[in-house]
Amino acid sequence: MSALLETRGLSISFGALKAVDNIDFSLQSGEIHALIGPNGAGKTSFVNLLSGRLMAESGEVLFDGRNLTRQPAYRRVRAGLGYTFQVTSIFAQLTVQDNVRLALERERSASAAEILSLLKSTGLEAHAFMPARDLAYGHQRLLELTMGLALRPKLLMLDEPTQGLADSEIEGFIALIREVSKTTTILLIEHNMQVVMALADRITVLERGRILAQGSPAEIRASEAVQAAYLGSKS
């Protein structure tokens, strides 16, 4: 596998807080890579630097052979770097299918058949004509995922995608991401360790804005440093 995404010395501070501190990171094409760590570890700040919602103070973001460090978020999306937010971002007053249509038509026209196919892939086809605000929260999360997939990204970053999902929905989400990963590289930022261990090919652990450890799920689970900083505090 070749590197699809790399960061070199990526850093940003908020006042005296070094939220992301000189991170060198590599994500391979075709993998599911999980990013974990305790609250305040810098996960969301790091993802915001990747997506262009924040601009780095220093360092580089390289994606698919291009330097995107100073590119705005919309150009990164056009380059194939998609993401969903930790807080759900949908158009509540529009129908489910119109949310997907709007996501698609930012780039090109979309047919009804294509929209319904996307909704079917995430199990939302029965809700196509429902206003998005009337969806259960877990289904709103799936709608945002559908909107992200509509742009056919090379890399899809999912920030806390299982937040709000019922336990009964987790197994379906895992199966969905496995299917999506056949054609799309995934960066998963997630607190649910059941999901992380079931899906991830590799895991990066952040602590205080730095990389604490990287490795396979088995290596991360066995790491004493990770146990002390993060996993040991989880049930």
Q: What whole-number distance in Å separates Cα of residue 99 and Cα of residue 117? A: 14
Angle (CA) 6-43-67 rounded to 5° is: 25
Residue bearing tokens 């949310």: 99
3-state secondary structure at position 125: helix
Cβ contacts of residue 170 below 8 Å, gap of 6+? 162, 192, 194, 195
Q: What whole-number distance in Å separates Cα of residue 98 and Cα of residue 224? A: 48
Q: Note whether 92 and 133 are within 8 A (CB).
A: yes
Q: What whole-number distance in Å separates Cα of residue 141 and Cα of residue 135? A: 9
pTM of the model: 0.89
Structural domain spans, the chain: 90-143
Q: 86: which strand partners?
A: none
Question: Over its length of 235 residues, how does the chain's per-residue pLDDT go in tens digits?
Answer: 568 999 999 999 999 999 999 999 999 999 999 999 998 899 999 999 999 999 999 999 999 999 999 999 999 999 999 988 766 778 999 999 999 998 887 767 778 889 999 999 898 999 999 999 999 888 888 899 999 898 889 999 998 888 878 888 888 899 999 999 999 999 999 989 999 999 999 999 999 999 999 999 999 999 998 888 776 654 3
Q: What whole-number distance in Å separates Cα of residue 101 and Cα of residue 116? A: 10
